[in-house]
A = this chain, B = another copy of it.
Amino acid sequence: MARLKTADKEFAILEAASRVFAQRPFHEVLIDSIAADAGIGKGTIYRYFETKDDLYFAAILHVLDTLTGALEATLCEEMTAPRRLETIATVILQHFWERRQLLVFFQREEHFPIRHEELATRRERILRFVQETILAGIERCEFRGIDARIGANLFLGMVRSVNLFHRSDDRLEDLVAQLMGVFLSGVARRQG
């Protein structure tokens, strides 16, 4: 087999692992399946990851980091707050639109208490994108003075919902429009 650079192989394993773990629950996933999916031997996996648990955890971080990367790449400073929020929603939805199975990793996983901290940090990073945008919106008087932490969580809650319930005949732009319609009116400055 052609040898890959170490980082590439690790990447390949993570991609395979996130695919396979996304399909079935942890206990139904065989390390053999991941090895097969990655096109490598089972033993090789253990050169890169200590245990099945480690690999699982790394796969989740991999998915979250990929999403964070996509967000960082798309957002730019000059946007208005509403435009920024719309972009965030669109990027997240696009990211999972064709990879719905990966969504299980976006949900909060309560079952790893020890590593919970590390996961929380990653999710915090995504939350902060939204939170800071809301704060900026409040400062510029685009939004009313809501609690930015709560607002950001509510926003991401709606995004997650859309991710979960959308059907194949839904159009992404329509759903984003509906979501933004509710959220922006919801946080707009009181009228009259």
A interface residues (Cβ-Cβ under 8 A, vs B): 24-28, 100-101, 103-104, 107-108, 110-112, 146-147, 149-151, 153-154, 156-162, 164-165, 175, 178-179, 181-188, 190-192
B-side contacts of A164, CB under 8 Å: 108, 153, 157
Tallying the copies of this chain within the complex gives 2
B-side contacts of A185, CB under 8 Å: 185-188, 190
Closest B residue by C-beta to A156: B161
Q: How far is the CB of A148 from chain B (nearest CB, A)?
A: 11
Of B178, B184, B187, which is within 8 A of A147 by CB?
Answer: B178
Tell me the complex Cα distance, A149–B166, Å: 10
In the complex, which of the residues A25, A101, A187 has the most CB atoms of chain B within 10 Å of its own CB atom? Answer: A25
Contact status B186-A146, CB under 8 Å: no
25 A-B pairs with C-beta separation under 8 A: A25-B27, A26-B27, A27-B27, A100-B110, A101-B110, A103-B110, A104-B110, A104-B111, A107-B107, A146-B181, A147-B178, A149-B165, A150-B178, A151-B178, A153-B164, A154-B178, A156-B161, A157-B160, A157-B161, A157-B164, A182-B183, A182-B187, A184-B186, A185-B185, A185-B187
